[in-house]
Structure formats: structure tokens, C-alpha cells
């Protein structure tokens, strides 16, 4: 019994280690389910199939039976990827089982195929009446055990031999299933936490727009890969008077409302960020300067027409001065930002509430 325990422990360690390294590439995927894109479910199938092959190749042999935790990999594949993932995993299991089967002794291979297919069919029926919880995952594991025990009995030479391994098999399959589910859930929570912290580090706390660090990183990537872009630097006119009249809370409301306006007006590929204070930056990849100026005018007019509301004060208006420049006007993104800033200064000096494009003249 101790020898069996040790062998199962090695199989169990292999399962958990494989899961950790195999699912690392998927750490940025927010949700994996049978409704995920087909390409993702195919990838899940190949990952679970690879793990299954490792488990089968390191299985414990008892008479004609080979015992391992492949059932956990199959249930996991189906649970997260449906028939697509489960089917690929099944084929991987059968391929590995065939590779370790002596010529002419194909009873175990046939029973393995029947168990996998029966489990997938039963799981498909069960899923219609179940939710996506630990209980349902363990029920599928239990169904798989129920299908596996008769096959195990047929492949062992004596009933005592069957009992010798069945108890350990049941305990380790259930334990393996529970730990696998919990491990994957905790791993996903950890990845989501890390991703959230990374996003917060690149997000302005007041407006939820990109912050200075995110903008600088994006500009650095433009330099690195030679991307063409245009930039708008947007500044609120007389923002100090807004703070003086409505207080800093009123000023914060204006900044938040303006951030919503910028996101609404800008195309999806644009990156809108707060550069500091009342200054915003809009990065427009693959956008000519004339189109950037046109967008700047749209933003300026939309802001001038918007009613800003704070507390019990009457609705009020603010205007914007905007400077524009494009990447063909500077050798680096830093130079482009400088030129857009010069254009913004010109807009401020010549009356405000206008868009000025940088010109060499």
C-alpha cells in the first residue's frame, strides 16, 4: 500500500507541476469556458492532452491496468473547454495508452477509449442541469471513477488485487480533482490580481484614463518600432478660476467629465491619458496631422457645448486649447510632444478655445 501511495504521489506532483507551467501562457485570459473562442479551446485541449500523455507515460502498472490521474486532466479539459478540448485530450490519452500497450494486449486501450467517450457524453448531459462550481467538477470526477472501476476490475487478476488498488485510486483521483480545481481557481485569482495591479499602476486614479507612465511607455514603443502617429495635447482654459469658483472638488468633477468626453469623441485605437493637472494627451496611431486637427476641433466644440454640473451650482461651460503635431515633424516621440506643447502654448497666447497644429513656418 505504501508503494502505491508513493507512486500516486509522484503522478500527482507531475500533474500539479505540469498545470502550473502549461497554464502560465494563459494568465492574461480573463475567462476560459466552453463558450470561449475555438482557438482557445483547442489550445486548452492540447495543454490538457500533453499533461495526460505525461501522466500515462508515468502511470502505475497493475496486471493489465495502468493507473494514473489522466481522468483529472480529461475532466479539467471538458470543464473549461467543452467537447473541443475534451475530444483533443481523449485522442492524446488514447495515443499515449497505445504507445505503452504491449502488442496484442489492447483490452486496456479499448476500455480507456470507452471510458473517455462515456464520460464526455455523460458530462454533456449533466452540464445542462449544472452550474460551473466545484461541486459539479467533483461530480464529473466521481462519474469518471464510476466508469473506471469496472474496467479496473476487469484488468486485474483477482478481486483482492482490485481492492488493493481501488481505494487508493479513488482517494487520489478525488484529491487530485479537488486540488487541481482549487489550484486553477487560485492561480486565476492571482493572475487577475497581478493584472489589476499592473493596470492600476498605469491608470490615473481620478479619471481612470492612462497616466503619464502609460503614455510614456506607449511613446517609447512608437520610437522602438517606428510607428507613425499624431498627438493632441488638450488643456482646460482658465482652470484655476474653476477651482477658485467651485473648489477642488468642482475641479475634479470637470476633469472626470472631460475625460468621459474625450473617450467618447476619440476612436477606439486612440490612447487617451491625463498628462498632469488639467492637461490631457491623445495619441493617435497611423493618423495624419490633418485628421488629428479635425478630431481636435470635434473635441473642442463638444466641450464648449457641454454643460458641466457640480453640486447645487448652476451648469457652466469650459473651453479647451489644443496643440497638435505628428511624428513626421520630429525624430523622436519626445520631440513630437514638445512640438505639440509649443502649439498648445500658441493656442493659449492667441485667444484660447482653439486648435493649433504645429508648423515649421
**pLDDT-flagged residues of the chain (< 70):** 1-5, 27-28, 30, 62-65, 360-361
Query: Can you read off the three cell numbers belonging to residue 118?
Result: 462515456
Starting at the earlier edge strand, list the strands of the sheet with 355-357.
Answer: 271-276, 279-285, 229-236, 320-326, 355-357
- Helix, strand, or coil (residue 233): strand
Burial class (CB in 10 A: 0-12, 13-18, 19+), 96: buried
What is the structure's pLDDT at 357? 96
User: In the chain, which residues fall in CATH 1.10.1760?
Assistant: 2-200
**Looking at the chain, which residues constitute the CATH 3.30.70.270 domain(s)?**
212-357
CB atoms within 10 A of CB 140: 23
Dist CA 74 CA 118 (whole Å): 12
pLDDT at 176: 85
State the Cα–Cα distance between residues 16 and 8, nearest whole angstrom: 12
- Look at residue 3 in the predicted model and tell me its pLDDT: 63
* Nearest C-alpha neighbor of 259 from the set 271, 269, 242: 271
The CATH number of the domain covering residues in 212-357 = 3.30.70.270
Residues with a known catalytic role: 278
Give the pLDDT of residue 69. Answer: 86
Question: Residue 25: its pLDDT value, please?
Answer: 72
Distance from first CA to last CA of the chain, Å, rounded? 88
According to CATH, the topology of domain 2-200 is Arp2/3 complex 21 kDa subunit ARPC3 (1.10.1760)
Amino acid at each position: 500500500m505504501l508503494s502505491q501511495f508513493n507512486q500516486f504521489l509522484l503522478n500527482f506532483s507531475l500533474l500539479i507541476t505540469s498545470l502550473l507551467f502549461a497554464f502560465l501562457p494563459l494568465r492574461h485570459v480573463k475567462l476560459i469556458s466552453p463558450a470561449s473562442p475555438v482557438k482557445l479551446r483547442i489550445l486548452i485541449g492540447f495543454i490538457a492532452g500533453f499533461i495526460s500523455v505525461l501522466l500515462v507515460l508515468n502511470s502505475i502498472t497493475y496486471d493489465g491496468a495502468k493507473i494514473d490521474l489522466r481522468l483529472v486532466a480529461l475532466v479539467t479539459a471538458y470543464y473549461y473547454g467543452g467537447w473541443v478540448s475534451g475530444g483533443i485530450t481523449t485522442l492524446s490519452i488514447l495515443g499515449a495508452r497505445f504507445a505503452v500497450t504491449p502488442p496484442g494486449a489492447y483490452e486496456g486501450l479499448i476500455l480507456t477509449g470507452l471510458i473517455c467517450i462515456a464520460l464526455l457524453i455523460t458530462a454533456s448531459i449533466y452540464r445542462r442541469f449544472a452550474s460551473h462550481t466545484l461541486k459539479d467538477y467533483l461530480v464529473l470526477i466521481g462519474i469518471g471513477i464510476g466508469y473506471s472501476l469496472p474496467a479496473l476490475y476487469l484488468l486485474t487478476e483477482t478481486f483482492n488485487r482490485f481492492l488493493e488498488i481501488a481505494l487508493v485510486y479513488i482517494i487520489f483521483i478525488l484529491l487530485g480533482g479537488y486540488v487541481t480545481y482549487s489550484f486553477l481557481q487560485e492561480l486565476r485569482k492571482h493572475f487577475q490580481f497581478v493584472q489589476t495591479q499592473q493596470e492600476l499602476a498605469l491608470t490615473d486614479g481620478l479619471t481612470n484614463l492612462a497616466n503619464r507612465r502609460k503614455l510614456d511607455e506607449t511613446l517609447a514603443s512608437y520610437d522602438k518600432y517606428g510607428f507613425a502617429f499624431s498627438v493632441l495635447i488638450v488643456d482646460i482654459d482658465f482652470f484655476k478660476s474653476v477651482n477658485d469658483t467651485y473648489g477642488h472638488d468642482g475641479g475634479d468633477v470637470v476633469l472626470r467629465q472631460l475625460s468621459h468626453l474625450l473617450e467618447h469623441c476619440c476612436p477606439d485605437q486612440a490612447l487617451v491619458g491625463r498628462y498632469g493637472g488639467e492637461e490631457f494627451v491623445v495619441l493617435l496611431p497611423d493618423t495624419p496631422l490633418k485628421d488629428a486637427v479635425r478630431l481636435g476641433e470635434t473635441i473642442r466644440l463638444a466641450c464648449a457645448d457641454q454643460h458641466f454640473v457640480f453640486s447645487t451650482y448652476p451648469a457652466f461651460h469650459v473651453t479647451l486649447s489644443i496643440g497638435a503635431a505628428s511624428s513626421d515633424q520630429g525624430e523622436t516621440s519626445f520631440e513630437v510632444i514638445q512640438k505639440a506643447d509649443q502649439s498648445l502654448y500658441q493656442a493659449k497666447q492667441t485667444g484660447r478655445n482653439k486648435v493649433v497644429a504645429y508648423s515649421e513656418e
